[in-house]
């Protein structure tokens, strides 16, 4: 059973909003989203169990679990399927692909969480649009959101890169450029409107000193 902890927000949560809290059953026991405070969290949904694209995503994430752990980032999956379906699917994945799904997969049969997060709208009768991911910081604030169609899989590489980039720019001192990877230079923020540009042609796009 899924239990939203607070009432449904007036609009879907956006970047910078607190992540809606909930309590739900999962393949790893009862989960409360706010219990992940103090570390990063990648909360992602998938349309259905026993589907080809979702299976490849879960295999990819399971194989990169140690890298998410190194970033101190927990993983939590969600779909509308029942807990019993989740358990059967996890077992099938582990047997077929020789991986262990260590992260919890929560059930959302009423789509209560999907509705609270804006993954589906009030008129939806199914969850085919629910391939969204929320990157939540240690204070429970949503720092990035991605949404993919049901027939295109997400990249575990990009999920890892995005978590690392969000952590790197978290102090507000710099920006992560296109294709940024851990160890690369960040970009300096643009000068304030009242400040004259510094000499040189690169004043608007330069590495952080």
Is a pLDDT exceeding 60 seen at residue 124?
no
Active site residue 54: yes
pTM of the full predicted structure? 0.90
**Which of 31, 54, 101, 163 is an active site residue?**
54
118 — pLDDT class (breaks 50, 70, 90): confident
The average pLDDT across 102-120 equals: 89
Q: In whole angstroms, what is the distance from residue 21 CA to residue 37 CA?
A: 11
14-45: per-residue pLDDT in tens? 999 999 999 999 999 999 999 999 999 999 99
131-180: per-residue pLDDT in tens? 899 999 999 999 999 999 888 999 999 999 999 999 999 999 999 999 99
- Please tell me which residue, 155 or 130, carries the higher pLDDT value: 155
Task: Report the pLDDT value the prediction gives residue 59, as an integer from 0 to 100.
Answer: 97
Query: Which CATH code of 3.40.50.300, 3.40.30.10, 3.40.50.620, 3.10.450.40 fits the domain covering 3-168?
Result: 3.40.30.10
Contacts of range 92-96, beta carbons closer than 8 Å, 24 or more positions apart: 92/50, 93/55, 93/58, 93/59, 93/62
Task: Please state, for a pLDDT cut of 90, what percent of the chain lies above it.
Answer: 70
Task: Please state, for a pLDDT cut of 70, what percent of the chain lies above it.
Answer: 86
Give CA separation, 161 vs 6, 137, 146, 148, 195, in Å: 31, 15, 13, 17, 33
Domain ranges of the chain: 3-168, 172-209
């Amino acid at each position: 059973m899924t239990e939203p902890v607070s009432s449904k927000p007036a609009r879907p949560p956006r970047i910078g909003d607190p992540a809606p809290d909930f309590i739900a059953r999962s393949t790893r026991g009862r989960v409360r989203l706010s219990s992940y405070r103090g570390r990063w969290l990648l909360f992602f949904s998938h349309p259905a169990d026993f589907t080809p694209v979702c299976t490849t995503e879960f295999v990819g994430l399971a194989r990169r679990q140690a890298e998410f752990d190194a970033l101190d980032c927990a993983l939590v999956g969600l779909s509308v399927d029942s807990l019993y379906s989740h358990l059967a699917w996890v077992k099938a994945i582990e047997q077929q692909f020789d991986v262990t799904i260590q992260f919890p997969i929560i059930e959302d049969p009423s789509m209560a969480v999907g509705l609270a997060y804006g993954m589906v709208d009030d008129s939806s009768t199914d969850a085919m649009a629910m391939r969204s991911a929320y990157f939540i910081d240690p204070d429970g604030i949503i720092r990035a959101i991605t949404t993919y169609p049901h027939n295109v899989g997400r990249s575990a590489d990009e999920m890892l890169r995005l978590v690392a980039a969000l952590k790197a720019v978290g102090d507000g001192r710099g920006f992560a450029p296109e294709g940024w990877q851990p160890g690369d230079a960040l970009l300096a923020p643009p000068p304030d409107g009242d400040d004259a540009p510094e000499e040189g042609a690169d004043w608007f796009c330069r590495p952080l000193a």
